[in-house]
């Protein structure tokens, strides 16, 4: 997106002129900025995009009536960028950025690790390589995945087939090594993005080579974990290699990545402490552990179950090609491949008098009778093969009209999950689920108008128009099998399928109507349809009627430059988050019990407000934001207690209000030369104001929204060869139930308050080599997100470049 410069740079623009190391994207610039020149010159190092190009604007007399010449920056950098949407300096929202120069000094194994110190944001990552890594930000919990958007060079990676921990963004379609920068936009204040931006929008920008380059990287990591009946080390490794070059107008990037890791136990099998005396036929066993669970109820732990100890193997391939048809027209193609296998091992802690392991049945523990279900310790395994195809075409004129077209297709070509019926070792009966034929398609068309300063009629207006299309499709079929590990599909068990489609049109204008005032306003129209939904149980098939919704989402933001260093901004926006395929059509089946889905869900209706002050002072940027989200019809899985029998399903909660305050800071050469700081503290109060289906939750805190979050990362550069990073993450009190009955949160099954410290030492013997040694969770804190988080984890890394 291309914009023109005006007379008065705002606080963030002036801060850019000072911070050469951090390069925060100038999303609140008081003036639009063009990006054509840097894109046209791919040899330009724009990893600090605003630092050099904005120097003239930042040092000019701001009250001068002389119109400055157009300045240019690029959203690319670090050796050029793959084609994708350039950043809009007029997005009416708080935005935070992390660059490659920052996170290369952190312990980063997977792409989502680059977000670990972002303000008021956390990623639910239970172990290195966790498939279910969900973003949680402000009033959005780590199970509301459809309230976040993740793009990589304009290609949508968000898995909007559902909204839970089972539908995370497809982070593995991006190598950490190819990332140049990541920008996080808070809230739904821009008309350019759909209502799924209610939480945050993550924009990943990758790099493209400007000359021949090759890179090889090897990492190893290990943790020791001790809890209940498990006391051992868990190890993993990662290896990657990339190669790229620019030959005339053509550039390419090829990467390969192999990852393997074994997690700590993710889930334990538990039984409520029994008060029934043991009978003569009960098997006496030993090995159980007892503790008070999240509700302070005495509980027996009998083994590792569910997701168990997961061994994950991932292989990734990436191909990016880019061609400059003319100095102002560029095209690109992206191909991503990701293959994952997992094996979740379970184990029993119970043994009889002869040392034989016991997996199920009636047992005698301490003189009391316990009934262990056959499936309590059932293992599972599976694999998935995924493809990402992307095409992009854009123009890069400095002024006037520009266009951009991006199309993507995410294809789950193979997806198989196998689960045993019992915990006994062996290849006995079980079920197998096939998820082939699942995926999504998107198309985005955008046009921008950037008038030259002499243009008549439009004045200081920067215009954006666009069209969006997406189609999400889900098809799951489950069969019984005689051999759960490798047996053929037998009798049909159940199936769920369905599709959603959204078409949207939007317009946005950034208007500087006075030297110190800017008004950004826009509207988004969305037409959402759900169709072809059905559920089949045994021989009975139940089709669902089609559904549809149409809504307008207006947005507005007013900013004022109080001084040359201080900018104030007030923003308000309406947003609609539409139901996903699984929320509408996919139920759950547990034995003979059916947990209903809800094809009659209404979209979430959000009114967001934000007040922000940004102060560029010295070599740092300070941000203070007040925010409030009032969400009607929040979609969440809960139990309707007003009917008998109670019904558990995705339901609309009448109203949830989230309000809070954030403070963030980024600076370089803080107190001493070479010390860079990134820090934040945030308070969020999220409460249920209306809930007709479960009145007991009204007035309670919403699910998994911590009252406090704080992050601090300090990197000290010792010359060009050495860097030391010390960091800490804090998360405060939160609840794992809508009724807030979990009064003992810092145990398995609860959601902990925690403080975790990290460190890394980086040594660069030469310009082409690097060695890193790091540790996460230095003090080996034991903390939980229902599942245990990792213990103290050590890292070692070696890298060579050409």
Q: What is the DSSP string of 127-195?
A: STT-S--EEEETTB-TT-GGGEEEEETTEE---TT-SSTTS---GGGS-GGGEEEEEEEESS--TTS-G
**Could you tell me which residues come within 8 angstroms of residue 261 by beta carbon, excluding any fewer than 6 positions away?**
127, 128, 129, 221, 234, 235, 236, 237, 311, 312
pLDDT reported for residue 537: 80
pLDDT reported for residue 499: 95
Domains of the chain (ranges, CATH numbers)? 213-232+248-801 (2.40.170.20)
In 3-state terms, what secondary structure has residue 715? strand
User: Do residues 206 and 322 lie in contact, with contact meaning Cβ atoms separated by under 8 Å?
Assistant: no
User: Do residues 774 and 766 lie in contact, with contact meaning Cβ atoms separated by under 8 Å?
Assistant: no
User: Do residues 370 and 300 lie in contact, with contact meaning Cβ atoms separated by under 8 Å?
Assistant: yes
Cβ count near 391 (within 10 Å) = 16
pLDDT reported for residue 92: 86
User: What order of strands is seen across the sheet that includes strand 361-365?
Assistant: 283-284, 361-365, 368-372
Write out the DSSP string of 180-194: EEEEEEESS--TTS-
Helix (H) or strand (E) holding 420: strand 400-420
Residue closest to 689 by CA, chosen among 725, 718, 657, 660: 657
DSSP 47: S
pLDDT reported for residue 81: 46
Integer angstrom CA distances of residue 570 from 189, 606, 626, 727? 10, 17, 10, 32
DSSP 697: G
pLDDT digits (tens, 9 = 90+) for 289-311: 999 999 999 999 999 997 889 99
Burial code of 435-474, b = ≥16 C-beta within 10 A, e = fewer?
A: bbbbbbbbbbebbbbbbeeeeeeeebbbbbbbebebbbbb
Distance CA 697, CA 715 (A): 44
Cα(first)–Cα(last) distance of the chain, in Å? 33
Beta bridge pairs of residue 432: 418, 479
pLDDT reported for residue 642: 87
Beta-strand runs (E) in 26-110: 95-99
**Could you tell me which residues come within 8 angstroms of residue 593 by beta carbon, excluding any fewer than 6 positions away?**
none
Low-confidence ranges of the chain (pLDDT < 70): 1-90, 453-459, 587-597
pLDDT digits (tens, 9 = 90+) for 545-600: 899 999 999 999 999 999 999 999 999 999 999 999 989 887 654 433 445 567 78
Beta bridge pairs of residue 338: 316, 386
Helix (H) or strand (E) holding 11: helix 11-18
pLDDT reported for residue 618: 86
pLDDT reported for residue 588: 52
Residue closest to 357 by CA, chosen among 423, 300, 305: 423
pTM: 0.89
């Amino acid at each position: 997106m291309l914009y023109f410069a005006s007379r008065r740079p705002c606080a963030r623009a002036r801060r850019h002129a000072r911070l050469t190391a951090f390069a925060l994207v100038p999303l609140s610039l008081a003036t639009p900025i063009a990006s054509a020149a840097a894109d046209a010159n791919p040899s330009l190092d724009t990893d600090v995009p605003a630092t050099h190009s904005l120097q003239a604007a930042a040092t000019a007399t701001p009250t001068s009536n002389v119109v400055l010449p157009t300045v240019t920056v690029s959203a690319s950098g670090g050796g050029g960028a793959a084609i994708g949407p350039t950043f809009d300096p007029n997005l009416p929202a708080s935005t935070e950025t992390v660059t490659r120069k920052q996170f290369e000094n952190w312990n980063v194994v997977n792409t989502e690790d680059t977000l670990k110190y972002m303000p008021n944001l956390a990623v639910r990552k239970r172990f290195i390589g966790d498939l279910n890594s969900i973003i949680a930000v402000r009033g959005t919990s780590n199970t509301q995945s459809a309230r976040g958007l993740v793009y990589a060079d304009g290609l949508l990676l968000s898995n909007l087939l559902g909204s839970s921990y089972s539908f995370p963004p497809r982070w593995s379609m991006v190598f950490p090594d190819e990332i140049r920068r990541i920008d996080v936009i808070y809230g739904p204040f821009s008309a350019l993005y759909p209502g799924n931006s209610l939480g945050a929008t993550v924009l990943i920008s990758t790099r493209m080579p400007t000359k021949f380059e090759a890179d090889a990287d090897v990492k190893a990591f290990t943790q020791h974990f001790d809890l209940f009946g498990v006391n051992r080390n868990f190890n993993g490794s990662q290896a990657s290699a990339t190669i790229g070059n620019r030959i005339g107008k053509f550039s390419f990037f090829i990467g390969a990545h192999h990852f393997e890791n074994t997690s700590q136990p993710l889930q334990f099998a538990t039984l409520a402490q029994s008060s029934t005396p043991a009978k003569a036929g009960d098997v006496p066993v030993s090995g159980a552990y007892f503790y008070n669970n999240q509700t302070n109820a005495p509980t027996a732990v009998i083994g590792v179950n569910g997701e168990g100890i997961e061994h994950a193997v991932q292989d990734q391939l990436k191909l990016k090609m880019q061609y400059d048809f003319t100095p102002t027209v560029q095209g690109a193609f992206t191909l991503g491949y990701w293959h994952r296998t997992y094996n979740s091992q379970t184990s029993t802690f119970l043994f009889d008098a002869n040392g034989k392991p016991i997996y199920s049945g009636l047992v005698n523990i301490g003189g009391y009778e316990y009934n262990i279900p056959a499936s309590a310790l059932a293992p599972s395994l599976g694999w998935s093969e995924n493809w990402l195809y992307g095409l992009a075409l854009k123009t890069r004129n400095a002024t006037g009209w520009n266009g951009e077209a991006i199309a993507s297709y995410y294809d789950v070509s193979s997806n198989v999950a196998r689960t045993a019926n019992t915990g006994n070792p062996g290849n006995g009966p079980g079920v197998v689920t096939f998820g082939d034929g699942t995926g999504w398609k998107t198309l985005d068309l955008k046009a921008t108008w950037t008038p030259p300063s002499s243009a008549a009629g439009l004045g200081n207006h920067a215009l954006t128009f666009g069209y969006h299309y997406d189609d999400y499709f889900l098809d799951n079929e489950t069969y019984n099998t005689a051999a759960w590990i490798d047996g053929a599909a037998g009798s049909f068990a159940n199936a769920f399928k369905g599709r959603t489609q959204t078409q949207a049109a939007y317009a946005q204008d950034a208007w500087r109507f006075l030297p110190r005032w800017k008004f950004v306003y826009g509207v988004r129209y969305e037409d959402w349809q759900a169709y072809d939904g059905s559920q089949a149980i045994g021989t009975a098939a139940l089709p669902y009627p089609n559904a549809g919704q149409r809504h307008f989402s207006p947005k507005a933001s007013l900013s004022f430059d109080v001084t040359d260093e201080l900018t104030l901004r007030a923003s308000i926006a309406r947003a609609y988050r539409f139901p996903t395929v699984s929320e509408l059509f996919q139920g759950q089946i547990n034995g003979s019990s059916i947990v209903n889905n809800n094809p009659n869900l209404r979209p979430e209706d959000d009114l967001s407000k934000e007040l922000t002050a940004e102060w560029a002072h010295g070599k740092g940027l300070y941000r203070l934001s007040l925010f409030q989200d009032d969400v009607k019809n929040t979609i969440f899985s809960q139990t309707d207690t007003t009917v008998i029998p109670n019904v558990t399903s995705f339901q609309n909660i009448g109203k949830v209000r989230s309000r809070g305050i954030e403070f963030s800071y980024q600076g370089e050469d803080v107190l001493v030369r070479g010390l860079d700081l990134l820090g934040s503290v945030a308070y969020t109060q999220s409460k249920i104001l209306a809930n007709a289906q479960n009145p007991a939750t009204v007035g309670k805190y919403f699910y998994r929204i911590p009252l406090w979050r704080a992050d601090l990362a300090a990197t000290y550069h010792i010359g060009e060869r050495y860097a030391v990073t010390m960091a800490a993450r804090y998360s405060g009190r939160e609840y794992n139930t809508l009724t807030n009955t979990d009064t003992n949160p810092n145990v398995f099954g609860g959601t902990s308050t925690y403080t975790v410290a990290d460190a890394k030492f980086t040594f660069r013997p030469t310009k082409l080599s690097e060695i890193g040694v790091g540790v996460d969770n230095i003090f080996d804190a034991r903390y939980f997100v229902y599942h245990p988080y990792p213990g103290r984890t050590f890292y070692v890394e070696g890298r060579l470049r050409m």
